[in-house]
């Protein structure tokens, strides 16, 4: 836009040029009458003055009807200052002439009044070349110092000054030489007629001006003298004034001047005509400066036609209420005029032309260095028009031009220039450019060239420029927006910090520095980070930063900033309570979770392609307890290269009331440090953990998770459910704790108890439960967990639950003791004895048979919270023989179990929560004795039998064994001995049920086992092996539980369902007695059988058989050559009624001497009644007469 021939026509001398640019000008001001409103004296408060100034300014246009009846719209412009130098340009552009003067002053005395008048007069003299008229508004003394109210000057004065002063204020009069019309008012009054007075004043100005216009327009154009711009005066010295060119110049300039006057007097159409003529004339003689002015006039007039309503921003009416009473007539331009203008004035430029012509004007101006200010102003005016036309780019180019104009300006003027530019840029929406200008203006305020630096203005402008740099003082919004031009932003904030500090706002400086470190952290390199942190430290030394909003005088609120990156939080993990303190639901009823909802399509957020940000779960799946210490573990990293002390770290929470415990930590550089923040929830309900607070580098910060860098992936908060208070029990036992590791000890375990017992030994343990909380324990549940079967478990661990319940409640501080009985239950039977493979687990339970197939090896699936471990797991296939047994006897077995305590109380109980803790129990079971072998022998009496046991003492000590109530014996350590124990035979009553079944035909394999079981239990009940280790004085009881019996044994053990009576030669055969006879003797055998069962036996076969026992395991039944029998050796009874008896007789002769045995048996063939399902087992039952009868044949 700049002319390429810039400055060529300008002289380089320091000619008087306009040194005071008026950036506020609008093109409309070309048409307005300039009025200076002057504040005189110190009595009138500036605030009151500006209030009146605003009020006066409202009268921006006045409609005056001239002599021809035409309504002229007269515009007015009021200024508070007007450099007299600018007046000199009045010839060039008449709107620069100051036409009117209104001064305002307040007086309390005549003396002051005189002074005001004197000053007013001096202003009149100063501007006397152009001034047409003036008014002096005088505010008299307030009432209390004044005369009565009727003399109040408020009501004064539509009349002239003399009158009003005479009539109203007798005491105070203006000096006689004061020729100005004075208006007397009271400061506190409404000054109702002020507008009328002003109107009248404007009228007077207009009429003078209009008369001048008329006068000028009547002058002969050829005769007029040359109009000059101030700096031109020298240029035209000595020029030929009569030349044709010069004539034209005179004419052209005068025509332009007339245009100005017509424009000012409201004759738009005429002014446009004059301007157009002037353009033509001036163009022909290359009078560029004036051509420019003519163009500008043309544009101004056209703009007035097109955009009559274009106005400078009306200042905010802060005192609007005060002015409510004041009339507002004629103060605003009725819009109708604009419409009227557009229709009637056809010669105005079209909008596009205006900016084009302005451009030309500016180019022409730019050729004169001395016209710099005119050019600047024209650029602003043009920009304002294009703003009105909303041609942002054109406006921008006009504004851009301003910057290039090289002017000798004061710093203040430079600043104003930038501020005006910024204002206009922001009007066209160029917020970045505006911000740039604001920042330049701000730096100018404090530049070294500026004689009076103004840091607070600088600061204010810096603040304004923030938005243009995408900076928002709220760190939260900054984080959200993250629109990075970080390099610029960092610089700007740093400048802001400096400005704030120099202004004396230490708090703000600290705040801004904190903000910088919070929001720009990722964009700073480590050196910058360190430097800024150090700076912050020194700033905060003057004023500590804290997370509260700061309110500036301007009303601006600076939101809190927090050091979220110093220290850097790498992890924020709320900790569950220690397992044994965790609250648990008492009733673990499965919650009915509503219908399963599934959203198949998940739309990625907007246009973001970032997959890294994943939502983390914020609702924690554990519970905290009211009034109990809760912990959050933080992992902090100090990113700064020096040691950082962070004090007063607390948790930030929401929801339930929380009391946080402050922590202080010193962080070495760059080493992740863990820190636990703790506190107490003082209320039950939902607790939100939203972050933590810190105090470091002199700044208190609230670091909230949701404001943390996205990369750290924190949820906005963690939610924890806090349950009401629960008691805490401290558990101890009388037994030593078990120190070594066990996989059976889970985190729930609070203590342990271990004891070593010999098999069969019992011991009492007292469990002490102390309530260490402030609330009573009202509920207590004890249970044992192990992998043992319940029956065995119940044998090993015993307590009296009712007794426990009686001890409740446990008041705070009190303790109770619970007695727990340990019994070392074991299988005392050596496994090498043949047992039926079909024996179920419950019969052979005990450590030796604990290798249930569900537990492979010794490793336990982790889901078992209780387990059973056998240390001698390798011996599942125990080899027979004592030797191996003794070798193994060192290997004791251990039983591990968990004593689970569930307890609750207080409010926690009402809301159905309890705690659970467990005691780890370790029971070492050492073998005491073992029955390595057993057998049964018929006793002398029918009602008893002998149980013969091989008992091995597996201990190293001497053992006293009491195997019957009366008999004891001593067994040396590692010795074995055999004891016969008389036992009552298993009565039929125990077995009757079995036979009932048998009769009904529901016979199957189970029968044998059932019989076995019943008999085994029978023996177990009767045989008690009390042992006493003499060395260590341990006592215990061994049981034969699980003893298995072969069917042969069974027949001996149980009472026979048949009562036998065998007579040989008439003598009843007694047990254990031998029958002696000679070979060849005939012996008469008489057998009678009585059925003692409750049912009839069918198809009973009685058989008699002799055999020889070689006592080497061989039984010889082939007796044909050795003996002969007479009579049946077999007899079938078709049925035997209960209690009925049958008899059988036969005879026998032994041929050779020897030892013979007689086997008498009865066989009831179940196979006949039952279907032959399993002939191998269901061979029918055989009852023998026991003991077998022996014959010694001599």
Residue nearer to other proteins on the CB measure, 604 or 1113: 604
Exposure letters 452-462 (e unless 16+ CB within 10 A, then b):
eebbebbbbbb
Residue nearer to other proteins on the CB measure, 611 or 614: 611
Residue nearer to other proteins on the CB measure, 132 or 425: 425
Least distance from C-beta 601 to other proteins, angstroms? 5
Least distance from C-beta 119 to other proteins, angstroms? 46
Contact at 8 Å (CB) between 395 and 424? yes
Sequence-separated (6 or more) residues with CB below 8 Å from residue 883: none
Residue nearer to other proteins on the CB measure, 433 or 457: 433
Q: Return residues touching other proteins (CB under 8 A).
A: 392-393, 396, 400, 404, 425, 428-433, 436, 469-470, 481-488, 491, 596, 598, 600-604, 606-611
Determine the Cα–Cα distance for residues 357 and 375; give it in Å rounded to an integer.
13
Least distance from C-beta 687 to other proteins, angstroms? 31
Least Cα distance to 763 among 823, 827, 819 occurs for 823
Helix, strand, coil percentages for the chain (3-state, nearest 5)? 35, 30, 40
Least distance from C-beta 457 to other proteins, angstroms? 21
Helix residue spans in 219-267 (DSSP H): 244-264
Backbone angles phi, psi at 204, to 5 degrees: -65, -40
Contact at 8 Å (CB) between 425 and 399? yes
Sequence-separated (6 or more) residues with CB below 8 Å from residue 928: 758, 759, 760, 761, 953, 954, 955, 959, 1027, 1029, 1034, 1036, 1038
Determine the Cα–Cα distance for residues 814 and 728; give it in Å rounded to an integer.
11
Residue nearer to other proteins on the CB measure, 112 or 375: 375
Least Cα distance to 26 among 341, 366, 304, 268 occurs for 304
Determine the Cα–Cα distance for residues 464 and 442; give it in Å rounded to an integer.
10
CA distances from 88 to 85, 97, 379, 684, 1034 (A): 5, 8, 21, 83, 129
- Tokens representing 452? 């009076």
Least distance from C-beta 418 to other proteins, angstroms? 13
Q: Burial, 1165: exposed, middle or buried (Cβ in 10 Å; 0-12, 13-18, 19+)?
A: middle
Residue nearer to other proteins on the CB measure, 470 or 580: 470
Least distance from C-beta 1 to other proteins, angstroms? 10
Determine the Cα–Cα distance for residues 893 and 756; give it in Å rounded to an integer.
10
Least distance from C-beta 481 to other proteins, angstroms? 8
Residue nearer to other proteins on the CB measure, 315 or 429: 429
CA distances from 1153 to 958, 1063, 1110, 1149, 1191 (A): 48, 21, 14, 11, 10
3 state SS of 327: coil
Residue nearer to other proteins on the CB measure, 322 or 393: 393
Residue nearer to other proteins on the CB measure, 363 or 810: 363
Least distance from C-beta 438 to other proteins, angstroms? 12
Count of other CB atoms within 10 angstroms of residue 1074 = 11
Residue nearer to other proteins on the CB measure, 244 or 612: 612
Least distance from C-beta 596 to other proteins, angstroms? 6
Least distance from C-beta 3 to other proteins, angstroms? 15
Determine the Cα–Cα distance for residues 226 and 250; give it in Å rounded to an integer.
5
Backbone angles phi, psi at 604, to 5 degrees: -60, 150
Q: Which long-range contacts (CB under 8 A, 24 or more apart) does 238-246 make?
A: 245/285
3 state SS of 128: coil
Least distance from C-beta 807 to other proteins, angstroms? 49
Residue nearer to other proteins on the CB measure, 400 or 962: 400
β partners of residue 135? 102, 181
Task: Classify residue 468 by its DSSP letter.
Answer: G
Least distance from C-beta 597 to other proteins, angstroms? 9
Determine the Cα–Cα distance for residues 695 and 701; give it in Å rounded to an integer.
6
Least distance from C-beta 604 to other proteins, angstroms? 6
Least distance from C-beta 612 to other proteins, angstroms? 8
β partners of residue 585? 913
Determine the Cα–Cα distance for residues 342 and 346; give it in Å rounded to an integer.
7
Residue nearer to other proteins on the CB measure, 304 or 395: 395
3 state SS of 773: coil
- Tokens representing 121? 């007069």
Residue nearer to other proteins on the CB measure, 1 or 1170: 1
Residue nearer to other proteins on the CB measure, 711 or 966: 711
Determine the Cα–Cα distance for residues 1079 and 1110; give it in Å rounded to an integer.
19
Residue nearer to other proteins on the CB measure, 128 or 608: 608
Cα dihedral: 187, 188, 192, 193 (round 10) = -10
Residue nearer to other proteins on the CB measure, 406 or 887: 406
Determine the Cα–Cα distance for residues 896 and 923; give it in Å rounded to an integer.
6
Least distance from C-beta 1173 to other proteins, angstroms? 48
- Tokens representing 49? 């003055």
Residue with tokens 């689970």: 900
Least distance from C-beta 332 to other proteins, angstroms? 32
Residue nearer to other proteins on the CB measure, 602 or 790: 602
Least distance from C-beta 631 to other proteins, angstroms? 34
Least Cα distance to 742 among 582, 874, 889, 864 occurs for 864
Least distance from C-beta 436 to other proteins, angstroms? 5
Residue nearer to other proteins on the CB measure, 602 or 1172: 602
């Amino acid at each position: 836009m700049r002319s390429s021939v810039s400055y060529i026509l300008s002289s380089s001398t320091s000619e008087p040029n306009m040194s005071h640019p008026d950036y506020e000008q609008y093109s409309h001001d070309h048409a307005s009458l300039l009025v200076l409103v002057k504040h005189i004296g110190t009595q009138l408060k500036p605030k009151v003055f500006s209030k009146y100034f605003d009020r006066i300014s409202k009268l921006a246009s006045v409609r005056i009807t001239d002599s021809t009846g035409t309504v002229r719209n007269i515009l007015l412009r009021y200024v508070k200052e007007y450099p007299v130098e600018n007046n000199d340009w009045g010839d060039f552009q008449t709107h620069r002439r100051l036409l009117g003067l209104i001064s305002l002053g307040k007086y309390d005395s005549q003396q002051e009044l005189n002074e005001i008048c004197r000053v007013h007069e001096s202003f009149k003299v100063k501007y006397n070349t152009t001034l047409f008229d003036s008014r002096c508004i005088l505010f008299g003394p307030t009432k209390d110092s004044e005369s009565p109210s009727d003399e109040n000057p408020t009501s004064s004065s539509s009349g002239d000054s003399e009158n009003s002063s005479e009539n109203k204020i007798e005491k105070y009069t203006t000096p006689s030489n004061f020729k100005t019309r004075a208006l007397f008012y009271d400061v506190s009054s409404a000054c109702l007629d002020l507008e009328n007075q002003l109107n009248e004043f404007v009228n007077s100005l207009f009429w003078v001006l209009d008369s001048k216009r008329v006068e000028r327009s009547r002058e002969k154009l050829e005769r007029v003298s040359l109009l000059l711009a101030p700096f031109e005066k020298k240029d035209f010295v000595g020029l030929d004034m009569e030349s044709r060119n010069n004539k034209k110049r005179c004419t052209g300039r005068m025509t332009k001047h007339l245009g100005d006057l017509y424009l000012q007097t409201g004759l738009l159409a005429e002014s446009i005509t004059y301007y157009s003529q002037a353009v033509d004339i001036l163009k022909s003689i290359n009078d560029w400066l004036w051509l420019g002015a003519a163009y500008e006039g043309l544009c101004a007039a056209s703009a007035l036609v097109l955009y009559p309503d274009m106005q400078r921003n009306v200042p905010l009416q802060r005192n609007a209420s005060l002015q409510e009473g004041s009339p507002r007539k004629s103060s605003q331009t009725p819009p109708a005029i604009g419409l009227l203008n557009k229709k009637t004035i056809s010669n105005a430029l079209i909008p596009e032309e205006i900016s084009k012509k302005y451009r030309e004007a500016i180019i022409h101006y730019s050729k004169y260095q001395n016209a710099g200010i005119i050019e600047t102003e024209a650029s602003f005016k043009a920009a304002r028009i294009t703003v009105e036309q909303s041609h942002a780019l054109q406006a921008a180019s006009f504004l851009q031009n301003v910057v290039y104009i090289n002017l000798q300006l004061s710093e203040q003027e430079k600043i104003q220039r930038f501020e005006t530019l910024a204002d206009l840029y922001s009007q066209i929406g160029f917020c970045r450019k505006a911000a740039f200008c604001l920042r330049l203006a701000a730096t100018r305020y404090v530049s070294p060239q500026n004689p009076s630096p103004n840091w607070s203005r600088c600061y204010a402008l810096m603040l304004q420029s923030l938005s243009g740099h995408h900076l928002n003082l709220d760190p939260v919004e900054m984080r959200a927006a993250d629109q990075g031009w970080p390099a610029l932003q960092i610089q700007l904030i740093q400048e802001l910090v400096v400005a704030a500090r120099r202004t004396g706002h230490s708090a703000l400086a600290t705040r801004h520095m904190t903000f910088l470190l919070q929001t720009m952290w990722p964009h700073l390199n480590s050196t910058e980070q360190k430097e800024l942190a150090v700076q912050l430290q020194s700033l905060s030394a003057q004023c500590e930063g804290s997370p509260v909003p700061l309110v500036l005088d301007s009303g601006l609120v600076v939101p809190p900033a927090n050091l979220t990156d110093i220290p850097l939080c790498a992890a924020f993990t709320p900790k569950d309570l220690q397992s044994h303190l965790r609250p648990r639901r008492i009733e673990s009823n499965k919650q009915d979770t509503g219908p399963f909802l599934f959203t198949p399509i998940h739309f990625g957020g907007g246009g973001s392609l970032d997959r890294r940000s994943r939502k983390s779960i914020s609702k924690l799946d554990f519970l905290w307890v009211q009034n109990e210490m809760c912990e959050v573990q933080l992992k902090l990293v100090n990113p700064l290269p020096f040691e950082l002390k962070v004090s007063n770290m607390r948790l930030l929470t929401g929801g339930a009331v929380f009391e946080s415990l402050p922590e202080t930590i010193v962080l070495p550089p760059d080493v992740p440090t863990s820190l636990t923040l703790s506190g107490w929830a003082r209320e039950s309900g939902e607790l939100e953990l939203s972050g933590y607070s810190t105090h470091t580098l002199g700044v208190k910060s609230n670091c909230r998770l949701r404001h943390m860098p996205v990369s750290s992936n924190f949820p906005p908060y963690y939610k924890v459910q806090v349950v009401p208070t629960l008691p805490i029990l401290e558990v101890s036992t009388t037994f030593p704790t078990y120190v070594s590791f066990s996989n059976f000890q889970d985190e729930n375990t609070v203590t342990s108890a271990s004891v070593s017992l010999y098999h069969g030994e019992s011991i009492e343990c007292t469990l002490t439960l102390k309530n260490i909380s402030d609330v009573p324990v009202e509920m207590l549940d004890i249970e044992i967990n192990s992998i043992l079967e319940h029956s065995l478990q119940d044998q090993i661990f015993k307590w009296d639950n009712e007794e426990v319940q009686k001890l409740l409640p446990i008041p705070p501080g009190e303790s109770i003791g619970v007695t727990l009985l340990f019994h070392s239950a074991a299988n005392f039977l050596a496994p090498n004895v043949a047992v039926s493979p079909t024996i179920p687990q419950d019969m052979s339970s005990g450590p030796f048979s604990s290798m249930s197939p569900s537990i492979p090896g010794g490793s336990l699936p982790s889901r078992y919270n209780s387990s059973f471990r056998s240390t001698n797991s390798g011996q599942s296939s125990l080899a027979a023989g004592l030797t191996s047994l003794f070798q193994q006897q060192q290997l004791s077995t251990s039983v591990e179990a968990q004593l689970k305590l569930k307890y609750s109380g207080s409010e926690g109980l009402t809301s159905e929560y309890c705690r659970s803790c467990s005691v780890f129990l370790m029971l070492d079971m050492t073998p005491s004795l073992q029955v390595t072998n057993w057998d049964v022998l018929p006793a002398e009496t029918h009602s008893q039998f002998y149980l013969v046991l091989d008992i091995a003492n597996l201990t190293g000590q001497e053992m006293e064994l009491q195997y019957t109530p009366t008999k004891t014996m001593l067994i040396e350590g590692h010795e074995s001995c055999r004891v016969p124990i008389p036992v009552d035979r298993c009565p039929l009553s125990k077995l009757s049920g079995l036979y009932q079944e048998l009769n009904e035909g529901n016979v199957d394999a189970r029968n044998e086992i059932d019989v076995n079981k019943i008999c085994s239990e029978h023996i177990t009940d009767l045989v008690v092996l009390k042992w006493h280790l003499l060395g260590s004085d341990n006592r215990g009881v061994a049981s034969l539980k699980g003893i298995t019996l072969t069917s042969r044994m069974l027949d001996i053990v149980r009472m026979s369902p048949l009562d036998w009576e065998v007579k040989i030669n008439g003598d009843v055969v007694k047990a254990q007695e031998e029958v002696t006879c000679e070979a060849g003797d005939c012996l008469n055998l008489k057998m009678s059988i009585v059925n003692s069962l409750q049912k009839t036996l069918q198809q009973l076969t009685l058989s008699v058989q002799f055999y020889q026992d070689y006592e080497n395991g061989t039984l010889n039944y082939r007796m044909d050559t050795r003996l002969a029998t007479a009579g049946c050796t077999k007899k079938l009874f078709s049925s035997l009624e209960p209690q009925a008896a049958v008899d059988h007789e036969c005879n026998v002769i032994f041929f050779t001497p020897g030892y013979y045995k007689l086997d008498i048996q009865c066989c009831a063939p179940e196979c006949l009644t039952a279907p032959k399902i399993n002939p191998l087992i269901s061979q029918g039952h055989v009852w023998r007469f026991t003991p077998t009868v022996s014959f010694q044949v001599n």
